[in-house]
Chain A
Amino acid sequence: MSESTYAVVGTRPPRHDATDKVTGRAHYGADFQLTGMLHGFILRSPHAHAAIRRIDVSKAEAFPGVKAVVTSADLPESPEQMVDIGEGAMPLSYIRGNMLARSKVLYKGHAVAAVAAVSPHVAEEAASLIEVDYDVLPCALTVEDAMRDGAPVILPDLRTKEFGEQTGRPGNVAEHFRHVLGDAENGFTEADLVVEREFRTATVHQGYIEPHATTVLWNEDGHVLVWCSSQGAFTVRKATAAVLDLPVLRVSVTPLEIGGGFGGKIRIYLEPVAALLSKKSGRPVKIVMSRQDVFEGTGPTPGSHMRIKMGARKDGRITAAQAYLAYEAGAYPGAMVAPGAMCVFAAYDIPNVVIDGYDVVVNKPSTAAYRAPGATQAAFATESVVDEIAENLGLDPVEFRLMNAAKEGTRRADGPKFRRIGCVEVLEAMRNHPHYRAPLEGPNRGRGVAVGFWFNVGLASSCTISVNSDGTVNLLDGSVDLSGTRTSVSMQAAETLGLRAEDVRPSVGDTDSIGFTEVTGGSRTTYATGWAAVEAARDVIGQMKERAALLWETDAASVEFDRGVFRAGGRSITFQELAAQLDETGGPVVGRGAVNPSGAGGSFSGAIADVEVDPETGKVSVLRFTAVQDAGRAIHPSYVEGQMQGGSVQGIGWALNEEYFMSAEGAMLNSSWLDYRMPTSLDLPMIDTVIVEVPDPEHPFGVRGVGEANIVPPPAAVSNAVYRATGVRLYRLPMNPVAVMEALWQKESEPGGGSLHSDAAA
């Protein structure tokens, strides 16, 4: 279907929430106010690992202005269960333990107690009066530390799960899993060249600008009301209810505008604590995190330790691949290593694969999702090795990838067989882009490429559409709008109904007003909630056909609808005209759509990066950057491009600057925007974008989610470019000036500097 068949899809109307966002009118988490509201403050652990001997809150409770103090003793006890926390599930005891530490603190910044008082300052001062006796324990901060024999045991009850079975073995490895396809050992013997490399990436944070903020009222009727910034009101409701041991009916969550999430605002940190403070004080309680709280007390993305081994024949065919992926889970199991394993070789059709994944607890904050969680680390490693093989075989890096590209029918080592995907089309778009062919002259400059994959999810979404008498509609859905999804969802409804985008007034419902909807995450909202909107619009059309049939005294089945006009037997009536006659024909028309698609098509993404490395300072400047991504169908191309640019920028920050610096005792040393270096506009070129459209065959408009895959290739593309610029390959992120200088230095000091010890076989 050509784009011209659509009137709305593929156009660029202004977003419905634009004015409120640019005028500062929009209400974010911290903007919410209630009469009589108290302010909460959370006391956090100064130690990375310590047993709590005693907590004495008496001085804080006696402090003037304090209305309530809570500790883990105030959390209810209830039987262990797995609780769905949006992207994955976690045992309830861990969720509670992360909310308020019980017998041990597991990372610096771990919440220990909380105070509600008449002002944030009083609450903070009172919290400083809480006495906590700690028995400081040795800590393990990386997977290598934590997997070592004799490493401090972080969770005494943890037993390693191996290949799906409980082993009964204590330690810090929560899980070891393996995916096998074909016979890797044999595959490597078929290879003419085998390259094996070891990689490490630092802990990084999503870096959303808005800190977590929540206001909770435990009402006199026993109902808990929550207003917060999150990626999904229903997930907040479920997790809050589970922690408080309440039925979900007794918790209502109203999502406020969100100032960035990137996966980090799916899990909850504050809501049950604020609820307990509200229950004790009888007043609404607001808690707003500081930036330091965000860095130290919420979930960053895992640091990793990886080994990738790949073998290829001289003709360019990859014969085998092996991955060792060990990710830092933080204080509780749940490092995003499983999705890392799903994505690590996903771009390639490789007959023989072994992937070993390790989920390892360490004394850092419990990690959370970050935009294609787990995939970026893995792609940095794989795409570096792929680049090295291409070079050694004398093949163009894009051509080499094309020769091995995954396509419809390719089986991934973790099981699924790809349906229609756009890996080849993305690579072809890279190869054909003027950037790829433009000369890059000058010393210390290099061009690197990489590709990346994110599988995307579908999951449950609900939407209702109410028809107004003037022919406009109100649309209500359950998806928090992180990135313009009000508009991309509305546009799909408008296209279906034959309306203009501005004839649809979208709003995001709370948990009392709309059907269950999963989090905004997994690149699912434009895909699944958009689909729900299409279903709701189709429901509206069906009901409107009945009204037309009533007017015309005919069968609804004989009424046809096309581009805003109903027709039957030579008669016709527009959507607007019919909308004006709803009262006379039976009353309001409300359409509903509820979907739960399971076969979302994954998105491939590619990056071309030109860099210049200053040999005097080690600073890597990105001169030019082109992002390519398969959007299936770009509903609103500007927002697709915005996603691609945003993901690229975050990927570049991850590649070059961002890092948790930790003291040996486990304290984060750079928990401020000043010292945690996210790139600024001065550090980046304009990110050029190319949207590739290989429609998802199942979605009504062919949408593939685009929120995540774009962050996956940039670190590898930048690293490959640094190699081409300097002859030095870096195996650790970030590649900051210090790391680059040291690598250049080492190259100079080595005889035959720059030789990379390729272990060419056969």
Chain B
Amino acid sequence: MLSQFAYRKAGSVQEAIELSSRPGARILAGGSDLLGCLRDGVFSADRIVSISGLKELKGVAATAGGGMRIGALATLAEIAGHPRLRQAYPALAQAAAAAASPQLRNQGTIGGNLCQRPRCWYFRGDFPCARKGGDTCYAIAGENQLHCIFGGEGCYMVHPSDTAPALLALDAKVRIQGRKGARTIPLASFFVLPSVDPRRENALAPGELLTEILLDPPEPGARGLYRKVRERGAFDFALVGAAIVLAISEGTVKKARVALSGVAPVPWRSEEAEAALAGKKLDQQAIAAAAAAAVKDAEPLSGNGYKIPLVRGMVEDALSALAG
């Protein structure tokens, strides 16, 4: 049931911050996740603050330093089709293209994609789970084939975003504005593990707004991709996914970033896989070692053990594609 709420359209970032500072307020960008959550009673809101008219949050543009600045309101379709992103940051463009369905990519924003709520069926269903302030995660003893194999503690959901692991692999930073001013933090510290707080997925405080995403210039010899394994060819979340960005020089991996989706309550950076690649030639041996390292410390639940060979196979496959 869509409960009654006040609708306010913010005319500026500052106004959006003021309007959304009080408890019970929610930011509306593309609305593709928010409105569904409100309708299904996953949570309620008494004030909806639309930021969809804020021009300063739109667009994708090159920065003076050779990087990119992506407004929080840039749509997934815009990112998927952006020539510069496709050429220099393929992991991100591919991840955006792999999300949802064409209609949702036209409507959904990158900011919303990073801030979307979990898809866990216990969270979305009528279960008072830990993420809704309850004292248990129903996935532990329940239907958990789609749940996490890393980082679960108190909550075993998987972070649903495809673009988040891609941005993580690109060492992206996010800019956050609030009453006390603006701060820019690495995306890696934007996401919150359930062991820290199972009730929120990110570091935004009430009234804080994710305004833009910043990408450094690509490293020399950079190559990257996003792989997504899903049941259905469209309109489906990742069973598991991997964003991989490598900087290769003279046949040797200078820098490796491996970030996984569908495996943890946050986009999951596999430093183990990265370490197995760094300084190595990208040959079959290194690829197999990295794939094995990616799942080394996995802790499956009763029904999701299949994700271990799945991740291993997917990482191996993705690295082989980058080597080719």
A residues lining the B interface (CB < 8 Å): 46, 121, 124-125, 128, 292, 615-619, 656-657, 661-664, 667, 669-670, 673-675, 677, 679-680, 682-683, 736-738, 741-742, 745
Query: Which listed residue (B143, B305, B317) contacts A662, Cβ 8 A?
Result: B143
CB contacts (< 8 Å) of B143 on chain A: these are: 661-663, 669
- Would A618 and B232 be within 8 Å (CB), given that A661-B143, A664-B141, A669-B125 are in contact? no
Contacts of B314 in A (CB 8 A): 616-617
Write the nearest CB–CB distance from A614 to chain B, whole angstroms: 8
Q: What's the minimum C-beta distance from B170 to chain A, rounded to whole angstroms?
A: 25
Q: Does the CB pair B317–A677 fall under 8 Å?
A: no
Q: How many residues of B contact A (CB 8 A)?
A: 33
Find the B residue at minimum CB distance from A663: B142
User: In the complex, which residue of chain A has the Cβ closest to the Cβ of B145?
Assistant: A738
Most buried by A among B127, B143, B232, B233: B232
Stretch at the interface among B72-80, B89-97, B203-211, B234-242: B234-242
Q: Is the CB of B232 within 8 A of A615?
A: no
Contact B2 A121 (CB under 8 A): yes
Q: A662-B143, A736-B231 are in contact. Are A670 and B121 (CB under 8 A)?
A: yes
The interface residues of chain A lying within 8 Å CB-to-CB of B141 are: 664
The closest CB in chain B to the CB of A741 belongs to: B306
B interface residues (Cβ-Cβ under 8 A, vs A): 1-3, 40, 119, 121-122, 125-127, 138, 141-143, 145, 229, 231-236, 239, 303-306, 309-310, 313-314, 316-317
Contact in complex: A674, B231 (CB < 8 Å): no
Q: Please determine whether B126 and A46 come into contact, CB atoms closer than 8 angstroms.
A: yes
The 9 nearest A-B residue pairs measured at CB: A682-B233, A616-B313, A669-B121, A741-B306, A124-B1, A683-B233, A617-B229, A682-B234, A677-B232
A-B contact pairs, 9 of them (CB 8 A): A46-B126, A121-B2, A616-B314, A616-B317, A663-B127, A680-B233, A737-B239, A738-B145, A738-B304
Q: Verify A742–B306 contact, CB threshold 8 A.
A: yes
Least distance between B28 CB and chain A CB atoms (Å): 19
Closest A residue to B126 using CB positions? A46
Q: How far is the CA of A656 from the CA of B232 in the complex (A)?
A: 10
Other-chain residue from B121, B304, B310 in contact with A618 (beta carbon distance below 8 A): B310
B48 to chain A, nearest CB (A): 15
Enumerate chain A residues within 8 angstroms of B303, measured Cβ to Cβ: 738
A residues in contact with B229, CB < 8 Å? 617, 619, 737
Q: Tell me the nearest residue of chain A to B317, going by C-beta.
A: A616
Inter-subunit contact B1/A121 (CB<8 Å): yes
Report chain A residues within 8 Å CB of B310. 616-618, 737, 741
User: How far is A675 from B125 in the complex, measured between Cα atoms in Å?
Assistant: 12
**Contact status B1-A125, CB under 8 Å:** yes
Nearest-Cβ distance from residue A48 to partner chain B, whole angstroms: 12
Query: In the bound complex, what is the Cα–Cα distance between A675 and B316 (angstroms)?
Result: 28
Contact of B121 (CB < 8 Å), options: A124, A675, A745 = A675
Quick one: given A680-B232, A745-B309, are A125 and B3 in contact (CB under 8 Å)?
Answer: yes
Known: A616-B313, A617-B314. 20 other contacts (CB 8 A): A121-B1, A128-B1, A616-B310, A616-B316, A619-B229, A661-B143, A662-B143, A663-B122, A663-B127, A664-B141, A664-B142, A669-B121, A669-B122, A669-B143, A673-B235, A677-B232, A682-B233, A683-B233, A738-B306, A742-B305
Q: Is the CB of A737 within 8 A of B126?
A: no
In the bound complex, what is the Cα–Cα distance between A683 and B121 (angstroms)?
A: 23
- Least CB distance from B147 to A in Å reads 12
Q: Would you call A677 and B121 a contact (CB within 8 A)?
A: no
Taking CB atoms, residues of chain B closer than 8 Å to A657 are 231-232
Inter-chain CA distance A168–B314, complex, in Å, is 57
Task: Give the docked Cα–Cα distance between A615 and B312 (Å).
Answer: 12
Closest chain B CB from A438 CB (angstroms): 24
Instruction: A121 to B236: give the CA distance in the assembly, Å.
Output: 29
Please give the distance in Å from A613's CB to the nearest CB on chain B.
13
A616 to B234, CA, bound (A): 19
Closest partner residue, chain B, to A670 (CB atom): B121
Write out the residue numbers on chain A whose beta carbons fall within 8 Å of the beta carbon of B138: 663
Residue of A nearest to B39 (CB): A290
**CB closest chain-A residue, reference B120:** A669
How far, in angstroms, from A736 to B145 measured CA to CA in the complex?
11
In whole angstroms, how far apart are the Cα atoms of A525 and B141 in the complex?
Answer: 48
Measured CB to CB, the closest approach of chain A to B85, in angstroms, equals 23
Evaluate contact between A615 and B313: CB separation under 8 angstroms: yes
User: Which residue of chain B has its CB nearest to the CB of A734?
Assistant: B231
Q: In whole angstroms, how far apart are the Cα atoms of A662 and B143 in the complex?
A: 8
In the bound complex, how far is the Cα of B1 from the Cα of A128, in angstroms? 9
Distance A148 CA – B240 CA, assembled complex (angstroms): 37
Expressed in whole angstroms, the Cα–Cα distance for A59 and B317 within the complex equals 60
- Tell me which residues across on chain B come within 8 A of A124, comparing CB atoms: 1
B residues near A675, Cβ cutoff 8 Å: 119, 121
Give the distance in Å from the alpha carbon of A680 to the alpha carbon of B235 in the complex: 9
Closest partner residue, chain B, to A616 (CB atom)? B313
* Cα–Cα, bound, A683→B236 (Å): 12
Contact status B316-A737, CB under 8 Å: no
Give bound CA distance, A292 to B126, whole Å: 12
Q: Nearest B residue to A46 by beta-carbon distance?
A: B126
* Neighbouring A residues of B304 by C-beta, 8 Å: 738
On chain A, the residues within 8 Å of B126 by CB distance are 46, 667
Min C-beta distance of B248 to chain A, whole Å: 23
Shortest beta-carbon distance from A115 to chain B in Å: 12
Cβ of A758 to closest chain B Cβ, rounded Å:
27
CB < 8 Å neighbour of A683 from B122, B232, B239: B232
Q: Which residues of B contact A738 (CB under 8 A)?
A: 145, 239, 303-304, 306
Complex CA distance for A742 and B138, rounded to whole angstroms: 23
**Complex partner residue of A745 from B119, B232, B306, B317, CB under 8 angstroms:** B306
Complex Cα–Cα for A677 and B233 (A): 10
Q: B3 — which chain A residues lie within 8 A by C-beta?
A: 125
Closest Cβ neighbor of B239 among chain A residues: A737
Question: In whole angstroms, how far apart are the Cα atoms of A298 and B314 in the complex?
Answer: 39
Minimum CB–CB distance for B260 against chain A, Å: 14
- Chain B residues near A618 (CB-CB < 8 A): 306, 310
Question: For A46, what are the chain B residues with a Cβ–Cβ distance below 8 Å?
Answer: 126
Bound: A736/B313 CA distance, A: 17
> Whole-angstrom distance between the alpha carbons of A745 and B305 in the complex?
10
Query: CA of A753 to CA of B304 in the docked complex: distance in angstroms?
Result: 22
Q: Which residues of B are found within 8 Å of A741, using beta-carbon distances?
A: 306, 309-310
CA distance A745 to B3 in the complex (A): 47
A674 to B100, CA, bound (A): 9
Question: Among A121, A617, A680, which residue has the most Cβ atoms of chain B within 10 A?
Answer: A617
Compute how far the CA of A739 lies from the CA of B229 in the bound complex, rounded to whole angstroms: 15
Q: Which B residues touch A682, using CB under 8 A? A: 232-234
**C-alpha gap A677/B314 in the complex (Å):** 22
Q: Hey, which chain B residues are within 8 Å of A680, CB to CB?
A: 232-235
A618–B235 CA distance with the chains assembled, in angstroms: 19
Nearest CB of chain B from residue A161's CB, rounded to whole Å: 34
Query: Interface centre among B2, B235, B309, B317, by most A CB within 10 Å?
Result: B309
| Minimum distance in angstroms from B115 CB to a CB of chain A | 18
Distance in angstroms between the alpha carbons of A664 and B141 in the assembled complex: 9
- In angstroms, Cα B232 to Cα A742, docked, is 18
Chain A residue nearest to B240 in the complex (CB): A617
Determine the distance from Cα of A667 to Cα of B138 in the docked complex, in whole angstroms.
12
The CA of A121 and the CA of B316, in the complex, are separated in Å by 51
* A621 closest partner in B (C-beta): B233
> What residues of chain B lie closer than 8 Å to A674, measured between beta carbons?
119, 235-236
- Cα A661 to Cα B317 with chains together (Å): 30
- The residues of B that contact A669 with a CB separation of less than 8 Å are 121-122, 125, 143
Q: Which residue of chain B is the closest to A740 with respect to CB atoms?
A: B306
**CA of A250 to CA of B158 in the docked complex: distance in angstroms?**
55
Name which residue of chain B comes closest to A669, CB basis: B121
For the complex, give the distance between the alpha carbons of A617 and B40 in Å. 32
Contacts of B235 in A (CB 8 A): 673-674, 680
User: CA–CA, A351 to B239, complex, Å?
Assistant: 48
CB distance from A545 to the nearest CB of B (A): 59
Contact for A661 among B1, B2, B121, B305, CB less than 8 A: B121
Taking the closest CB of chain B, its distance from the CB of A292, in whole angstroms, is 8
Please give, as numbers and ranges, the residues of chain A lying within 8 Å of B232 by CB-CB distance.
657, 677, 679-680, 682-683
